[in-house]
Chains A and B, each alone.
Chain A
Amino acid sequence: MSFGKKHLLGIQDLTKSEILSILETAESLKEISRRDIKKVPALRGKTIINLFFEPSTRTRSSFELAAKRLSADISSFSKTTSSTVKGETLKDTVLNLEAMQTDALIIRHSASGTPHFLSTFCESHVINAGDGTHEHPTQALLDAFTIKEEKNRLKDLKIVIVGDILHSRVARSNIFLLNKMGAQVVLVGPPGMVPAELADLGADIDHDMDRAVKNADVIMMLRIQLERQQKNFFPSLREYRNLYSLTPNRFKKADRNAIIMHPGPINRDVEISTQLADSVKSVILKQVENGIAIRMAVLYLLLGGKEREFTN
C-alpha cells in the first residue's frame, strides 16, 4: 500500500490513486467496527491530539473512535473561542501540544487554510477535520465510500449538491473528489450561494431544483445556516424551502434508485422533509458509520501501520 503524503490537508492535493488507496483501506477496516471487540493494535503507542476550535459532535467523536479502534492514544481538546482572544497564538498552542511528542494533530478551525499553516511548522502529521469554508476532506472521502457502496462506482454518476455551496467545505471537498473520480456534479441553490464562477471548480450550476434533480443518482442536501438570511442570500426561510427543499414530489423526478445524502446535522423539514430523511432511500446514518472506517484508514495510512496487523 502506498500513500505518499505526510499530511491530509485537502482533497485538492490528493491524486486519484491516493483517494482510491484510502477508500480501499477503509473497506478492509470497516468490519472491525462490527466486531464484538472493536479494536486492533495497528497504531498502538501512537499519540494523536484532536484540536477542535469549532463545535462538532460527529467528526470529533468519529476521529476519537477511529483512533481508539486502532489502539492509538487520543486526547481531545476543544476551544470554541479563537486562541488570539486569550492572547496565545494558535502557533504557540500547537507548539506546546507538539512538545508532548504527538504523532498526529487533527484540526478543525473556523479559518480557511489553518491546516496548511500548521503544516508549515509542525513535525506531526496534520489532518484537516474541516477548515473554515475551504475543505473537509474526510467528509468527502466518507461520502465517496458510501456512494461506492450503494452504486458500485463513482464514474458517470449524476450527483446533485443542494444548498449553500459557497460557504460549504463539504461541498468544496466533494466537488474536488467527484471530479477526480469522473462523476458529474450539479450545484443547486440561490445565486448568491452558488455563484456562476463555481463552475470553474468543475461543476454544472442550476438554480432550478426541479430541473436539476431529474435523473440524479445521488442527491446531497446541505444544512442551511439560518444566519445567512440576515445577509440577504435569500429573503426568507419559507421561500428557501419552497425553492430548494428536498420533498417527496421533487425526489420522484430523480432516478428511481437515487439515494439521499446529508453531512449532518440536518434541519428536519427545512432543507429536507422528515419523511425522506428517514426513508429507505436515505443513507445518512450509513455515512456516519462509514466515517469511522474512513478516518481509521486515514490515520492508518498516514501514521504508517502495518497491513497484517488488522487482517485476520
Chain B
Amino acid sequence: MNLLIKNSHVIDPHSGLDGRFDILIKNKKIIDIKKNIKDKNAKLINASDMITAPGFIDMHVHLREPGQEHKETIETGARAAAAGGFTSLACMPNTSPVNDSSGITKYIVSRAQKSADVNVFPIASLSVKQKGKALTEMADLIQSGAIAFSDDGMPIQNSELMRRGLEYAKQWEALIIDHCEDLDLSSNGVMNEGHYSYLLGLKGIPDYSEDVMVARNIILAEKTDSRLHLAHISTKGSVEIIRRAKEKGVKITSEVTPHHLFLDDSLLSSYSTDLKVNPPLRTKQDNKSLINAVKTGVIDVFATDHAPHSPDEKDVEFNAAPFGINGLETAVSLILDKLVHTEVISMNQCVDMFSCRPAKILGLNSKGKIEKGADADLTVIDPQKKITVDVHKFRSQSRNNPFHNWELKGSPVMTIVGGKIVYSDLH
C-alpha cells in the first residue's frame, strides 16, 4: 500500500527542501513531493506539526551479533534504532568472531535481512582479527557487503599498516574509520586524565593519546590521498588539528557522540560505571570546543557509538566494568534539546549531520535525501514533544545509558524504512 505523509514540514538540506509538503511513497521509494498530493489508495499520515527528514543514519554502532547476544542482537539493536529515529546503521566489527571475513559479513547481512527493522551495513575490520598485523581481504569483503573498514576499539598502532590500508583502499575509494588512540599513552587508563582522575585515584587517559593519533592519521590520509573518517572525536586538541587539516583540503571526515558533547569527567565522582566509556568523558572545555566544532562544520556527523553491555557486566567495581554507553534511543532528543532548541545549530544542520552527511560519507547514494526515486527512509520528528529518558523502557536489550531521568524537548515520533512504518508514537 502506498503511504502519504500529509502536510509536514519537510527538511532536506541535500535537495534544499525546507517547507510544508506532502510525500508519497510507493514500492519502497519516494515517488512524489509537492503540496496537496491526492492518492485514494494511500494510507494517510497526518503529520502537520511534525518535521519530516531523510532517514537518520548512525554510522557507529555495536550490535554484538554474532557472539555477544547477551548484550544486544541485530534485532534488538535495530528496534532500538527505529525507536531512536534511525533508519540505517553501520555496525562495528568487534563481534565474536571478529567480522574480518566475507563469511561473517554475509552472516550479518543475512541476519539483518531476517530480523532487523532498519538497514544494517556491516563495517569489516581493517586487520585480521583486529590484531593490527595483517590486512583483511578488502575486495572480497566489499563484494560481500562491507561498507567500510575499521579496527575500532583495537586501534591500529602500527603506522605502516595504517599507511598500507589507506593506500590499498584507495583503488575502490573505500572508507577507513579509525578510533584514534595511542594505547601506550592510554596505558590502561579508565577515565580522562586530569583533576578528577587525580582526585578519584582512577588511572587517567591523557587527551593527547587521542590528539597524537588524529595527527598521525591526518598525515597518512594526506600522503596517501585516501578517505579517512575519524571516529568519536572527544578533545579540544583533536578539533584544532582537524580544523587545520580541513582548511588544507585533506579528505577526512569526523564524528562526535552526544555523550562527548554534553557530559564531562566531573561526573565520574559517583564512580558510576555507566559513565565509563572510551574515549573517556573529557572536560567542560572539551565539551565547549566540540560544540563549537559542530557549529562551524569541523565535525561532520553525529554518531552514537552505541555500545550496549548487560546490566551484570556494568554492575561491578569501576576498573572491571567494560567501556561503553548505550546511545541509540537518546541521541536525537539530546541533539534537539541541547543544540537545536538552544539555537547553536539549525534544524537543517541537525538533519544534515544525522542524515545527509553520513549517507555521503558511507556512499549510500539513494539515502540521506528526500527526492523522487530516493529510498523511502524517513525520520519524523516532533520538535516540541517533551520526554523523560527512562532506560527501563529501552528497546535495546541493555540499559547502560547515563542520561536516565533527563528531561528533553524534541523527539523522533515515526520511523519509516523502505516505505514501511517500523516505529510510531504519532498521535
Q: Which residues of A contact B (CB under 8 A)?
A: 12, 82, 84, 89-91, 109-114, 116-117, 131-135, 166, 169, 172, 195, 197-198, 200-201, 231
Contact = CB atoms under 8 A, between A and B. Distances in A.
A112 B316 contact: no
Given A84-B320, A117-B317, A198-B198, 14 more contacts: A82-B320, A89-B316, A90-B316, A90-B317, A91-B315, A112-B200, A112-B202, A113-B201, A113-B318, A117-B316, A117-B318, A133-B201, A197-B195, A201-B198
A160 B288 CA distance: 38
B112 to A, nearest CB: 33
Residue of A112, A200, A201 with highest tally of chain B CB at under 10 A? A112
Contacts of A113: 200-202, 271, 317-318
Contacts of B319: 110-112, 132
A133 B270 CA distance: 16
A134 B201 contact: yes
Contact of A111 (B194, B312, B317): B317
B201 A197 contact: no
B318 A112 contact: yes
B199 interface: yes
B155 to A, nearest CB: 21
Contact of A200 (B195, B315, B318): B195
Contacts of A131: 201
Given A113-B271, A197-B195, A89 B315 contact: yes
B203 interface: yes
B214 to A, nearest CB: 23
27 contacts: A82-B320, A84-B320, A90-B316, A90-B317, A91-B316, A109-B317, A111-B317, A111-B319, A111-B320, A112-B202, A112-B318, A113-B202, A114-B317, A114-B318, A116-B270, A117-B271, A117-B317, A132-B201, A133-B201, A134-B200, A172-B201, A197-B194, A197-B195, A200-B195, A200-B198, A201-B198, A201-B199
A134 B200 CA distance: 6
A132 to B, nearest CB: 6
Interface residues of B, number: 18
A119 to B, nearest CB: 10
B80 to A, nearest CB: 26
A30 B134 CA distance: 66
A89 B199 contact: no
A197 B194 CA distance: 7
Nearest to B201: A134
Interface in B181-210: 187, 194-195, 198-203
A111 B202 CA distance: 8
Interface of B: 187, 194-195, 198-203, 270-271, 312, 315-320
Contacts of A195: 198
Nearest to A176: B199
Contacts of B317: 90, 109, 111, 113-114, 117
Nearest to B270: A116
Residue of A90, A113, A132, A198 with highest tally of chain B CB at under 10 A? A113
Residue of B187, B270, B317 with highest tally of chain A CB at under 10 A? B317
B312 to A, nearest CB: 7
A89 B312 contact: yes
Contacts of B312: 89
Contacts of B320: 82, 84, 90, 111
Contacts of A112: 200-202, 271, 318-319
A86 B199 CA distance: 31
A282 B291 CA distance: 55
B280 to A, nearest CB: 14
A102 B203 CA distance: 32
A66 B371 CA distance: 78
A225 to B, nearest CB: 14
B201 A116 contact: no
A298 B195 CA distance: 29
Contacts of B201: 112-113, 131-135, 169, 172
A294 B319 CA distance: 29
Given A89-B312, A116-B271, A117-B271, A111 B198 contact: no
Contacts of A110: 319
Nearest to A82: B320
Contacts of B200: 112-113, 134
B314 to A, nearest CB: 11
A181 to B, nearest CB: 19
Contacts of A116: 270-271
Nearest to A53: B317
Contacts of A91: 315-316
Nearest to B197: A197
B388 to A, nearest CB: 23
A83 to B, nearest CB: 9
Contacts of A132: 201-202, 319
A111 B318 contact: yes
A110 B315 CA distance: 17
Contacts of B318: 111-114, 117
Nearest to B202: A112
Residue of B194, B199, B200, B312 with highest tally of chain A CB at under 10 A? B200
B320 to A, nearest CB: 6
A281 B320 CA distance: 43
Contacts of B198: 166, 195, 197-198, 200-201
Contacts of A90: 316-317, 320
Residue of B198, B201, B318 with highest tally of chain A CB at under 10 A? B201
Nearest to A169: B201
The 4 closest A-B pairs by CB, nearest first: A134-B201, A113-B271, A111-B319, A112-B201
Nearest to A198: B198
Contacts of A82: 320
A200 B203 CA distance: 17
Contact of B203 (A117, A133, A135, A201): A133
A110 B190 CA distance: 14
A94 to B, nearest CB: 11
A233 to B, nearest CB: 11
Residue of A12, A111, A134 with highest tally of chain B CB at under 10 A? A111
A11 B201 CA distance: 13
B402 to A, nearest CB: 15
A198 B201 CA distance: 11
A84 B316 contact: yes
A245 B320 CA distance: 35
A231 B202 CA distance: 17
